[in-house]
Structure 1
C-alpha cells in the first residue's frame, strides 16, 4: 500500500498551495466590486445613524455632493456603540448585532474604506479552515485524510470567496455554524465515554450556539437540525445525553433572549424589510435557480441560468452531489451520515417548502442556504477522501482526476471573480457600475432620486462610484423637485411611472431610458433646458 505513505505528503503540499492561493484571492482587489445596497447598510449601522435620520437630513430636496454621504457611511464620534445596536434593533431586527459590533471596532482602528471593512470578512473567512478541520476530526473520528480534503475543497469553493469579500455577517455565520457543530459532536463524544470535562464541553456548545444566533437568526434552523440529530442518535430516548443537550441548548437560547425580545417587539419592521421574499416566480424558474445555486458551490463564472453553459455543468454537479449523499448514507456510520443529512435538509426545508406551496423567493438567497452548502461540501469531501484512498489504482486515478477538475473549476472561478466589477451576489446593485459610467460621462450631471424601495441603498451605493462633479437632488415622498438650470444632464434613478410623468408634465420635457435591468431603470430628462422656464419655480426669473 505504497500510495498510502506517499499520498498524504502530496495532499498536504497541495493543501498548502491551495491555502496560499485562497488567502491571496480573498484579499486581492477587495474594493474592485461595487459596494452594494446591503453593504451600505452595514456602513450605516457602523455609523450609528438610522435610515430615518438619513432621510431627514439629505432626502430633503436640496442639492448635495457625494461628500454628504460620508457622515452616514463611516465611524464617527457623534454616535456610539449603543447607537449601532439601537439602529439594528429599531430598523433591522433580523440582523443580530454581533458582526456589526465587531465591524464598528474594526473600522474604528483600520478606517472606513471599502478595502478596510471588507478585509474584516476576508480575515474571518480564514477561520473556516481550522473550524472545518476540527468538525471533520470529530465527525469522521481519527481520519485526518477527510479533514485535509475538506480544507482543500473549502479553500477553492467560489461561494466562500463571495462572502469572504462582502461586508456582511454571512462568512462569520459560516464559521459559527462549523464551530458550533464541532463542539456539539465533541460534547456527544465525551458524554458517551463518561469523561469528566463534559460539563465544560456542553458549556462551549451553549456559548457557540449563542454566538451563532447573535450572528444570524437562521441559526435557529441549525439548532433544530442539531436537536433532531441528538434525539435520533439517542434512539428517541430521554437519556442523560439528551438531557445535557437540552440544558445546553436552553442556555444558548436564554443568552439570546434579549434579541428575541427585540425581534418580537419590532416585528413589523422585520416583516417590512423582508417583503421582497414574497415575490412570485414560476416553478420552472424556481427549480432552475436552485440548480444554479448548487453549481456555485463548485464553479461560479457569474452566469445566469439562461446561459447555455449551465445546461452542461448543472447535471454534472447535481450527479456529483447526489452520488456523494448516496455514498455517504450507504458506506458511513449512521451517526455520520445523519449529521450531514440533517445539516443539509433541515435549514433548507423551511425556505424551500413555503416557496413551493405559497410562492416566494426565500430560498433563492444563497446566503440563507449556507448551512446546507456546508453539509453538501462535507458529503462531497467524504466521497473524495474515501475514493482517493481506494485500493484500486484505476479508481484512485478517476477520483484524482475529478478532484483535479474541481480544483480547476474553483481556481478559474477565483480568477474571473478577481477581475470583475460586479457579481450576481450584488443583486439589486448589479448594474450600478454601468449606471455610474453613464452618469460620469456628463459634463455637469445631476442625479435625482427618492428614498422609496431599493432607491435609498442604491443611491448610497452609487455615491462610491460617481465622480465628485456629480451632484444629487434627493427628495422625500416623490415630490416634484426644483431643478436648477446649471446642469447639462439630469438623470432620474428608478422613478415610479406616476412620479416621472408628473415631472415630464411640470417641466414639459421628455424622458429616455439609458439603462434598465430587472431591478431598476435610469432615465434622462431631455429637452429640459430649452423649456425649464415654463416650470412655476422659474416664472419669476428674468431672462438674460
Structure 2
C-alpha cells in the first residue's frame, strides 16, 4: 500500500493522457455553454427568477390570477429584476416563502441579470461560469487527499464530461455553486489539518459560511467533516480538533441570521415540501438510487415519448451500463479501502456516506423521496467520483500489462459514455431534471395558433409551470388566469382557446358550456370548443 501511494505521488500523466484530458476539459467547457437556452426553463428555475424579481408567490398570484386577459409577455416583469423591487425584496421573498433556499446564489444571479440581461441563456450562464471553478477545486482536493497529480487530472477529466454535473451547470439553481463550495471546503479542511495554519482554518471557516448560505444541507457536510477530524485525531482534543471547532463555529455564527429565518418559517417550509413526503417502497428507493448514481458517468438512454425532437431509440442499449457502473463504483470503494490508506478512505467514506445517510434514513423512517433527488446528495456523488478516479489512476499505470490494458479500456468506456451523454442531452428540449416534459410540445401547439388564449388556474404546480411557459410563448399569446374555484368569463374573440392542467372540478364546470378536446395524447392541454359548434 505504501509503495502504491508512493508510485502515485511520483507519477505524472504521460503526454497521451495529458492530451486526452485537455481535450475532455475543452469538451466539458463547451457542453456547459452550448445551447444554454435550448432546454425548457423549468418550474424550479422559474421560481428562481420570481425570487430575483423581488415578488413573492403570493403577490404574483394576487396580481396575475385575477381573471383578466393579459399578454404572456406582460407577465415577464415577475421573472426579472425590475424597478419596483430591490435586492432586499429578493431576500425577503426567500425569507417569507422559501427559507430552505438561502440567498447567496439568488443575490449573485440578481446582480448578474442587472448587468447582462434577463434572457434564459444569460441567467443560466452564471451557473455555467461558476461550474468552471469546480475544475481547480477538485484538482486541489485530489492533491490534498491523494498527493497524486495523475489522480487529480483524471478527476478533472471525469468531472468535465460528467452528464450529471453538466446538467446542473446549465440550470439556474444553486446546486452548481454548492458543488464548488463542497470541493473548496473539503480541500481547505485537509490542507488546514496538514499545515495547521490559522489562515487556512480561516479559509475553511469562510467556506463553511458560503456553503451554508448556498444550501441548508451543508450542515450535514460540516458534521461529516467533524467526524473525520475527531476520528483521525483518535478522539483526542488536539490542536486540529480545537481549530476545527472554532472555524466551524465561526461559519455557523455567520449563518445565524438565516438560521433564525428558517426557524421562523418552518411551517411554510413544511407546506412547500409536501410533494417529497409521500412514502416510497424500499425497492423504488433503491432503484432510484442506482439510476441516479449511473447519471454521474452515463445518461444517454433516457429516450421517452416526451423527447419528440430526440429520436434516438438506438441508444436504449445504454441501460445495460447501469449494473456495470454500479459494479465499478462498488469495486472502487473496496479498492480504496484496501489500498488508499486510512486518512484517504475514511474521508471519502464519510463524505459520501453521512450526508446521504441522513436523507436516506429520513425517507425510510419518516417517509419521502428526498434521496431520489440527486441534487440533494451531491457530497455523496463527489465521493463516488473521487473513488472511481483513484481506482482508474492506480490501475492504468499498473505494472501488469493485462491489468493496465483492461483498466485503460474501462476508462475509455467511462469517458466515451460521458461524452455521448453530454452530446445527446445537449440536443434535447428537456431532460429528467427539468420536469413538465410535455411543455415544449404544448408551447409549439399554442404558438402555432393565430390568436390564442391560454386559460389556467392556481391548481397543483400550475403557478411554476405557467411562469416557465412565459419564457417561450409568443407575444401574440394571451393568458387568462384565475384562482380556483373561480370560473373565468371567456371572450369569444380568440381563434383558439386552450386550457392548461385544470382540476377535476374546474374541468367539470367548463364542460357545462364547452367541449374539451384533448390536444394530444398524455397532454395536460385541452382545446375549448362551444358545444353548439
Match of 2:335 among 327, 334, 347: 327
In structure 2, do the counterparts of structure 1 residues 516 and 335 end up closer, same or farther at CA, with 3 Å as the change threshold?
A: farther
Partner of 1:180: 185
Partner of 1:402: 410
In structure 2, do the counterparts of structure 1 residues 468 and 302 end up closer, same or farther at CA, with 3 Å as the change threshold?
A: farther
Residues 80-119 of structure 1: pairs in structure 2 closer than 5 A? 80-119=86-125
Deviates more, 1:392-401 or 1:32-41: 392-401
Does residue 136 of the first structure (1) align with residue 142 of the second (2)? yes
Question: Aligned pairs, how many?
Answer: 516
Residues 324-403 of structure 1: pairs in structure 2 closer than 5 A? 324-403=332-411
Structure-2 separation of matches of 1:91 and 1:516: 35
Is the CA contact 2:371–2:377 (under 8 Å) kept in the aligned structure 1?
yes
Does residue 125 of the first structure (1) align with residue 141 of the second (2)? no
Partner of 2:309: none
Q: Report how far residue 238 of structure 1 moved.
A: 2.0
Residue by residue over 1:402-433, the C-alpha shift from the partner in whole angstroms, topping out at 9 and shown as x without a partner, is: 11111110110111011111111102x22210
Structure-2 separation of matches of 1:335 and 1:55: 53
Residue by residue over 1:168-213, the C-alpha shift from the partner in whole angstroms, topping out at 9 and shown as x without a partner, is: 110000000000011000111013xxxxxx1111111111010000
Structure-2 separation of matches of 1:262 and 1:388: 50
Partner of 2:423: 415
Aligned-partner SS, 1:426: coil
Partner of 1:527: 530
Residues 166-245 of structure 1: pairs in structure 2 closer than 5 A? 166-191=171-196, 198-245=197-244
Structure-2 separation of matches of 1:239 and 1:467: 64
Partner of 2:308: none
Deviates more, 1:232-241 or 1:78-87: 232-241
Partner of 1:489: 496
Does residue 268 of the first structure (1) align with residue 289 of the second (2)? no
Is the CA contact 1:26–1:164 (under 8 Å) kept in the aligned structure 2?
yes
Aligned-partner SS, 1:420: coil
Residues 491-530 of structure 1: pairs in structure 2 closer than 5 A? 491-505=498-512, 507=513, 509-515=514-520, 521-528=524-531, 530=532
Structure-1 separation of matches of 2:58 and 2:499: 22
Structure-1 separation of matches of 2:30 and 2:230: 42
Is the CA contact 1:88–1:95 (under 8 Å) kept in the aligned structure 2?
yes
Structure-2 separation of matches of 1:364 and 1:515: 30
Aligned-partner SS, 1:424: coil
Q: Report how far residue 7 of structure 1 moved.
A: 4.5
Q: Report how far residue 5 of structure 1 moved.
A: 7.8
Partner of 2:41: 35
In structure 2, do the counterparts of structure 1 residues 130 and 501 end up closer, same or farther at CA, with 3 Å as the change threshold?
A: same
Larger RCO, structures 1/2 (Cα 8 Å, 6+ apart):
2
Aligned-partner SS, 1:297: coil
Structure-1 separation of matches of 2:519 and 2:364: 36
In structure 2, do the counterparts of structure 1 residues 515 and 246 end up closer, same or farther at CA, with 3 Å as the change threshold?
A: farther
The CA RMSD over aligned residues, in Å, is: 1.9
Aligned-partner SS, 2:39: coil
Greater Rg by CA: 1
TM-score with structure 1 length normalisation? 0.91
Deviates more, 1:300-309 or 1:239-248: 300-309
Structure-2 separation of matches of 1:457 and 1:37: 5
